[in-house]
């Protein structure tokens, strides 16, 4: 009957005694669901942080607005989808603990906890599948990137000075970074004053996309790893 309903090839266990005394397969499947839940919770929390703001937070993205606002703060919009997915993930992780305990509770040739294994496993499958679809369709597919905020934060980030170290040295790099931070100016603007490098040279050395590829960019323009 199950094979007809699902199209999957269900078959009896080769060892009936092992089949009723242990739930190792269910425990393993639940563990995989927990792993997925951990990844989804990390993604959801990253989205929440990148969406935080719009003034005092990171504000790198804007998630779709799906509700009127906060229950206690008029005008505030909560990242409801990532928050809901985090709750689902917490439930799945809790279900996995239940399944783990139930799986090791088989005494000799019988495990009496198969009903709670089935209950929690089916719930995990159902709510996690729904959470994946909702996160993809209602949050990730519709968010916008706030390039203005990203560029503003990036151009003032002292870490950019690290790319200048092979050219200007550590001491001057540190001085440049401290001055830029102290004055609230972009690294390139201060580096024009402190390093003697041209704007074109600084554009090449401080190109964010190029820096993501790794290696050290020297005066000759070549990167080495």
> The whole model's pTM is what?
0.80
> Cα separation of 95 and 122, whole Å?
10
What pLDDT sits at residue 4?
A: 87
Residue 225 tokens, joined = 């790893």
> Where do the H-state alpha helices sit in 7-146?
16-21, 24-51, 80-103, 114-135
Q: Which residues, in sequence order, are CB contacts of 172 under 8 Å at separation 6+?
A: 164, 194, 195
What pLDDT sits at residue 109?
A: 84
What pLDDT sits at residue 68?
A: 74
* Least confident piece of the model among 8-12, 103-107, 138-142: 8-12
What pLDDT sits at residue 133?
A: 97
pLDDT bracket for residue 61 (50, 70, 90): very high
Residue 164 dihedral angles phi and psi, to the nearest 5°: -90, -15
DSSP 8-state code for residue 63: P
pLDDT bracket for residue 184 (50, 70, 90): very high
Which residue ranges form the domains of the chain, and what is each CATH number? 14-146 (1.20.200.10), 156-224 (1.10.40.30)
> Cα separation of 68 and 10, whole Å?
48
Residue 198 tokens, joined = 């041209």
Per residue in 80-99, pLDDT (tens digit) is: 999 999 999 999 999 999 99
Q: Which residues, in sequence order, are CB contacts of 181 under 8 Å at separation 6+?
A: 156, 158
CB 61 within 8 A of CB 145: yes
Across the chain, mean pLDDT equals: 90
The DSSP bridge partners found for residue 61 are 145
> Cα separation of 77 and 83, whole Å?
12
Q: Between 216 and 110, whose confidence is greater?
A: 110
> Cα separation of 100 and 120, whole Å?
11
Per residue in 117-175, pLDDT (tens digit) is: 999 999 999 999 999 999 999 999 999 999 999 999 999 999 999 999 999 999 999 99
Match 């050290």 to its residue by tokens.
216
């Amino acid at each position: 009957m199950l094979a007809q309903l699902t199209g999957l090839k269900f078959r009896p266990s080769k060892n009936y005694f092992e089949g009723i005394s242990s739930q190792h397969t269910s425990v393993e499947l639940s563990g995989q669901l927990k792993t997925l839940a951990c990844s989804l919770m990390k993604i959801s929390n990253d989205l929440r942080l990148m969406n935080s703001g719009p003034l005092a937070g990171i504000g790198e993205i804007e998630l779709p607005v799906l509700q009127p606002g906060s229950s206690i703060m008029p005008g505030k919009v909560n990242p409801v989808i990532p928050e809901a997915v985090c709750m689902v993930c917490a439930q799945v992780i809790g279900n996995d603990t239940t399944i783990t305990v139930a799986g090791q509770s088989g005494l000799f040739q019988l495990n009496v906890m198969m009903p709670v294994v089935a209950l929690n496993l089916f719930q995990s499958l159902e709510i996690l599948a729904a959470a994946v679809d909702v996160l993809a369709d209602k949050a990730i597919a519709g968010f916008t990137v706030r390039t203005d905020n990203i560029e503003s934060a990036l151009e003032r980030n002292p870490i950019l000075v690290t790319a200048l170290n092979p050219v200007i040295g550590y001491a001057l790099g540190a001085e440049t970074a401290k001055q830029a931070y102290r004055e609230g100016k972009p690294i390139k603007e201060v580096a024009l004053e402190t390093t003697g490098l041209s704007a074109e040279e600084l554009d090449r050395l401080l190109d964010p996309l190029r820096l993501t590829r790794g290696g050290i960019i020297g005066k000759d323009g070549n990167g080495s790893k």
